[in-house]
Chain A
Amino acid sequence: MTTQRTGIRIPTARVNIAAAATPTLVHTIPAGRTAVIRKILFSELAGIAGDIQIGHGAAATYVQDIPNIDAPANLTGILEADEIPAREFLPSPAGTTTQDIYVRTTMSTNLDIQLEVEEFGA
């Protein structure tokens, strides 16, 4: 058996982020697994430019894990794996946040986002 570290590709649902600075759950990682984002698809529907912020943790526990991603107004975008800063999502050292991936925006905007993640586990 080859042991290259490859996982399984999972697409998330298309999630709408309607309000600024409100982390929205995009992907739940099953217990015992870690995940890396391989693709980001987004579309800005309200004519308001903003930044996409991807991290983990809901509400007040949210922590941004990947630098801001520019979302120009009225445009769609796609980022492939090589364009996405490397970050493996796993349980927080503080033990108070989840493994799940949350996304929020910097400005009030109607943003749709969908991810493709690669999950590692057994």
Chain B
Amino acid sequence: MSDELFYARPGPITPVAGIGQNILVWRLKHYELFRVQFREGLPPSEPLMRDFGAIAAGATSAGNSLQAELEMPDFQLGQFRVYPLEDLRVTIWLPRSVGRYQVKNTVAQVTAFTPIYDPCLHTTEFFIFEDTWPYLDVMNPRALGYTLTRVVFYGFKYVLERIGTFEEITQVSLPYAAVVSEGY
């Protein structure tokens, strides 16, 4: 597997695979191997921006489904980076019961300070396969209530052709770029 095929690479977001190349998707404790048929960018724009509305000082808006913005069609994979436009602390759950960016005892968040330490946002990168869209908890850390609480997503999408399903990664003999879609 080429080092160039890793995702979450430092720098501007780049596709993990080209047309005709393979993507290995980790989904719920098994691996699914796909070949890329088509690839397209998803620019940061209002349709991929979610406004969670008013959030009181110190309060959290929890369990927000991002189906309307991020659900992918059948056999399509979305590669996304994320940033908030307001001073917010965003926790991503994908699927709903599993936190992205988790360590043993806690789950990291995407905040307004994330672009300061990670200007290209590569540490926020995550993947959505078909209908496994994320849920977001959005927290207002300030002593002042917000009325506008926006989070923006952008990245790439891939149209895929299934090659096979594997229980162990050692069973995969073809070259691939490995990504995590859900679980872990």
Contacts and interface: CB of A to CB of B under 8 A. Distances in A.
Interface of A: 1-5, 32, 34, 90-93, 95, 120-122
B97 interface: no
Contact of A32 (B44, B54, B150): B150
B120 A1 contact: yes
Contacts of A2: 115, 119-120
Interface stretch (B21-29, B45-53, B88-96, B170-178): B45-53
B3 to A, nearest CB: 22
A121 B115 contact: no
28 contacts: A1-B12, A1-B13, A1-B44, A1-B81, A1-B120, A1-B121, A3-B83, A3-B115, A3-B119, A3-B120, A3-B121, A32-B46, A32-B51, A34-B85, A90-B147, A90-B148, A91-B147, A91-B148, A92-B147, A95-B54, A95-B147, A120-B85, A121-B46, A121-B49, A122-B46, A122-B48, A122-B49, A122-B152
Give the size range of B's interface with the partner: 20 to 34
B80 interface: no
B115 A93 contact: no
Nearest to A92: B147
A45 to B, nearest CB: 36
B129 interface: no
Contacts of A93: 54, 145, 147
Interface string B132-156: 0000000000000101101010100
Contacts of A3: 83, 115, 119-121
Given A1-B13, A1-B120, A93-B54, A32 B154 contact: no
A3 B83 CA distance: 8
